[in-house]
Each structure stands twice: as C-alpha cells, then as structure tokens.
Amino acid sequence: METRRINIPLFLLAGFIFGVKTYIVYRFIFQIEIDNFMQELIILLNPFITSIVFFGISIWIQNPLKQNAFIRYSALIGTIIIYFNLLFYRSFTDFITIPQLFQTSNLSDLSTSIISLIKIYDILLFVDVLIIWYLCKKLKDSGIKVYTKRNKILALVIFLLMLSGNFLLAEMERPQLLSRGFDREYLVKNIGIFYFHVYDIVVQSKMRSQRVLADDNDLITIKKYLKDEVRSDQRSNLYGIGKEKNIIFISAESVQSFVINNELNGEEITPFLNSLVHDKDTFYFENFYHQTAQGKTSDSEFLTENSLYPLPGGAVFFTHAQNEYHAMPEILKENNYESVVFHANTNSFWNRNQMYNSLNIDQFYDKDFYDVSEDNEIGWGLKDKEFFIQTLPYLRDLDQPFYAKLITITNHFPFELDEGDRTIEPYDSNSNTLNNYFPTVRYMDEAIEQFFIQLKAAGLYEDSIIIIMGDHDGISANHNKAMAEFLDKEEITPYDYLQLQRVPFFIHIPGYGEGEVMSKISGQIDIKPTVLHLLGIDTEHDIYFGNDLFHDDRKGFIVQRNGNFISEEYLYTNNTCYDRESGDVIGVDSEGKEDGTPCTPFKAAVQQELEYSDQIIYGDLFRFIDFEAK
C-alpha cells in the first residue's frame, strides 16, 4: 500500500538520479574548466535537462512493462557511454567521436593501456543504475503510467522548451558553437556529452556526403588560397643539399620538448638528444609543435607525409584510407627512392596495412619481421634498443637512396619499463604517469644514441640525413598538477599547456658543419616541403599547407587542430591571446567583434586553412588531379 501513494513519475525520478551522477562527472571528474557563472549554470542544468528529456521518451511507450524496460536499459547504456568517455578522457583529455568507434582493430593492442586507466572507485558510477533498476522493480505499478494524448503533447512542449533553453544559454555563452565546433570540450561543456554525440553523428553524416557532392571546382579556391597565403617562390640555401641522400626518419614516441636540456635529480634526462642540440651538423627547432588530434601517432604520420591537417574527429588512417593522396613516398618514388616503414607492432594497428598502400609506401616491416620474445618485448612491441638492432640489417639491404621511417615504442603510455632497463629513477609526484615517463624517455634517448653508432658502423651514416621528431604529447592535461610541480610552476595555465605541445625536431646532416638552434615557430605540417626541398625535389605543382623551414617567406602561424594557434609574436588558446615569449595575457577575444586582440586577425585564416584541408580529405579532391601530368 505504501508504494501506491507515490505519484512521482518514474521517468522523473530516474532523470533526477541520473542527472545528479552526470553533473558530478562533468564537474568533478572530467577536468572541464569553468570560467564564469554562465558556464557554471549551463553545466548544472544540462545533465538534468538531458536526463529528464531522454527518460521522458518512455511516456510515448504504451506498454508499462516496455516503459519500465526502456528506463532501466537507458540508465545502463547512458552510464556505459559516460564511462567509455571517461576512460578515453583519462588518456587523451578528449571525448570519443563516431569514427573512433570503428577503430576496433586497435583494441587488441590497447589492453595494457585500458587496464591502467580503470580505477577501483569507478564502480561508484554504476550505483545510480542499481538504484534506478531497484525503483523500476519497486514502483512498477505506481511509477509507470499510461499518458493521454493531451499529456503527451504537453510533455513534448515542455521538453522542447527545456532543450531550447539549454541551447539558448549555450549560444549566449559561446556564439556559433555548433557551426564552429573546433573544441569538443566546449561542446560537452555547453550541450552535454549525449548531445555532443548526436551532434557528432550529424557532422559525420554531413562529411560523408561531401565526397559524393565534390568536384574539381572545389580545388580552385583552395589553390588560390595556397598560392596567395602559403606558398613561396623562395628557395633556401639548403635546397638540394641532400640530393640523392637517404632519409632516415625516427618518429620518437610521445617525446615532448620539456625534457630536452632538462634534469631530474641532477641528471640529464636526454643526454644524447641534448648533445645533438649543440652538434654543428644538426638543426634543432626549439619551437616545433605537434599538430595531431585524436589519431595521435597516425595523425603525425599523416601530417608528415601529406602536409595536410588531421581530421577534427577520429583518425584519417581509418576514416579515409581509400582516398587518393600525393604523399611524400609517392613523390620520392618518382625520384627513384624506395620508401619503407619499420614499426614492431601489428600491421593493422591504426589501419596502417591499408593506409600505407594509399600513401605509396613500398614496404611495411611490422612485428612479423622481428624476433619478439618475453625478454625484449614491451606492451606494444619491441623495446627500442632491440628494435634498432633488428632494423639495421633491413636498412643495409635496401637499395639506395631510400626513405625509411622508424617508429619507436618504449616511450608509450602507460610508460612501463622493467627496473633493470632503467638508468634514471622515476620522478616522485602524485602522477604515476609522469613519474614513469622519465625512465622511458631516457631509455629511448639511449636507444637512439646506440642507433647512430650502428649507422656509422654499417656505412649508412655519411650518406643519410637523419631526422628525429616527437610524434605527439605524452603527458595529458590530467597530470597538470604534477607537471606544474616538476616545472616549478604554481599551475599549468592554458598558455603553459599549449607550450607543452612542443616536441623535439632535429634535422641532422652529417658533415654539414653549420647547424644551429632554430627559434622560428614550426610544426609537423612543414616537414614534407622541408624534406623534399633538402633533396632538391621541386614541389611547384604539389598541394600542401606547410612551408620549407629553411626560408623566411612563411605564412607566420602554426595551427592546432582545435583552432589554437601560435605566431611569432602571439599564442592563442582558450579564447585568450598571449604574448608568445612572456606568456602575458594580452586580452580575451570576444566573439563577433572586429576590434579584438592582436590574435583576432589570425582567427579567420586559421579556420579557413583547417576547412580547406578538411575539404580535400572529405571530398577526396586529389582524385581529380593527375599529379604525374604536371
């Protein structure tokens, strides 16, 4: 009899309970920055509006048992969606997009990383599901009602008003939020994680249709932009200096520039890379930024080979592996180079076994080409020292000149290394991830030093240009507190975090003798034209968004995939313009105002450049060009 006196609809109870959980996750587990009262209000209201509206769909189900089941399973599925995003966020400080859900071939290699992301207290995220299931069973008679047509219409009006209010507040806080969705955190903060996924589905569907509607006329505007704003007729003094030399490209996993010329416990973290900084045969770019997005290492490969930007969601290697490209290996093949990749991981990871064909890479030496055992294996494949040892015979057997990319593994999240392989002790902070990062970085540094010695002994050193690049960041924003402690800062500001996206970039030319530390801003988008010009290969008819790093006629900014950018004088992130050198705040850009900060003039060009690159990928526009006929 007691339960019959409860008149609160079950969907409202479930919506309130689920909303409380979602708010706690948004506000205290995801590290979403709250800058003002309006953002605080939105992030408070959104979980309850979303939950009540979603559970409210049950009132259109006539059968009470099916209403009950809808509420129960909606709570479970919604919690699973939140939890998957939480695991992803812990690793990447980002949210899952639809293309990533189809990257299932990566899952078998991700087991170690995923397990390290799971916390025992995560079980608390499912407590509300148990409560909702209990209520559905306890109140199956009093809490479930059959609604009249009039009540359903009234509920629909109320739900639409609630949603409209949510989106109105979001638009007031962040004008043009949905049309300028560079930043997934802004979307989640303003419309919630569930509507973000709905938005993502709509965007991905729209993008899929672009290939069908695309034609060669779309290239006219892009070519004009590149000619007017990006390309240069200049040739640097180094043009052709490496003609017919081998290119040995080391993609150094997760290495960020803050370790270069830095110490831990009085010891150099990367002694060999530090020595290269001052080597007269080396150009070291100290303001070189990675520009990857959700594709991480695969994005860095895409940028390197194509000088196109990665996509805002997912990995191009998965979503557009069948496209036509005019990648660096194809151009090098036209100039009698053999292109190969060495990576002691499975060939399906990041869909490399398909994408490398589209990039015209001649041979991929994957895990099957290596002798991998318990003694020399780390979570993702061979430890770096053994990887270089086993790669050298393959390099010796290649016809010269060749372009060889070697992708390291040891310095990969979760940065696990046997104690016997450590030559520097872990850091001591509240972040195991940052603590363990330093021994794996040191191990990688030693492996590269060993590889240089091996190249010299094999007779490959003098006839090669050796390039070393950090592929992406390794320490996410989740570890900002520990990072601030290591860098002796009070906190990691948005300015600091963007500066932490700098990764090492070395171009080592044996026998050159006039290398130097280069301070100009640069990024992975610049690698393709730089390498081709070093080899004396003309790129007049190619399409790319980078610049040769050895001439000064450059466009003047480096773009992050989320719309952040860095110029020689300014740095823009989190809607704030900073002085690049000092980090002082110059001002906050107001949406829609012409007289903003000095960063404002760059914003339109940044957005335009990203959109043009996306058009090329989504429309598969290179299929309309016969590059060989140029």
Catalytic residue ranges: 297
Query: Buried b vs exposed e over 197-236: b needs ≥16 C-beta within 10 Å?
Result: bebbeebbeebeebeeebeeebbeebeebbeeebbeeeeb
Q: What is the DSSP string of 129-196?
A: HHHHHHHHHHTTTTT--PPPHHHHHHHHHHHHHHHHHHHHHHHHHSTTTTTT---HHHHHHHHHHHHH
How far, in Å, CA of 219 to CA of 194, rounded? 36
Measured CA distances, 449 to 70, 384, 453, 460 (Å): 60, 11, 7, 15
**CB-based burial of residue 83 (10 Å sphere; 0-12 exposed, 13-18 middle, 19+ buried)?**
middle
Question: Are 73 and 197 in contact, with CB atoms under 8 Å apart?
Answer: no
The set of long-range contacts for 172-175, using a CB threshold of 8 Å and a minimum separation of 24, is 172/38, 173/36, 173/38, 173/39, 173/42, 174/591, 175/591, 175/592
Q: What is the DSSP string of 578-609?
A: EETTT--EEEEPPTT-SS--TTHHHHHHHHHH
Cis omega (within 30 of 0) on the bond before 175?
Answer: no
Phi-psi region of 254 (alpha: psi -120 to 50; beta: other; left: phi over 0): left
Residue 331: other Cβ atoms inside 10 A: 23
How far, in Å, CA of 308 to CA of 527, rounded? 11
How far, in Å, CA of 225 to CA of 266, rounded? 50
Residue 481: other Cβ atoms inside 10 A: 13
List Cβ neighbours of 355 (8 Å cut-off, separation of 6 or more): 298, 316, 317, 321
Give me 364's structure tokens.
């991929």
How far, in Å, CA of 615 to CA of 211, rounded? 9
How far, in Å, CA of 316 to CA of 354, rounded? 12
Question: Are 105 and 321 in contact, with CB atoms under 8 Å apart?
Answer: no
Phi, psi of 464 (to 5 degrees): -130, 150
Q: What is the largest CA-CA distance in the chain?
A: 92
Q: What is the DSSP string of 191-234?
A: HHHHHHHHHHHHHHHHHHHHHHH--TTHHHHHHHHIIIII----
For tokens 């290179």, what's the residue?
622
In the chain, what is the straight-line distance between the N-terminal and C-terminal CA atoms, in Å? Answer: 85
Side-chain-side CA neighbours of residue 581 (13 Å): 4
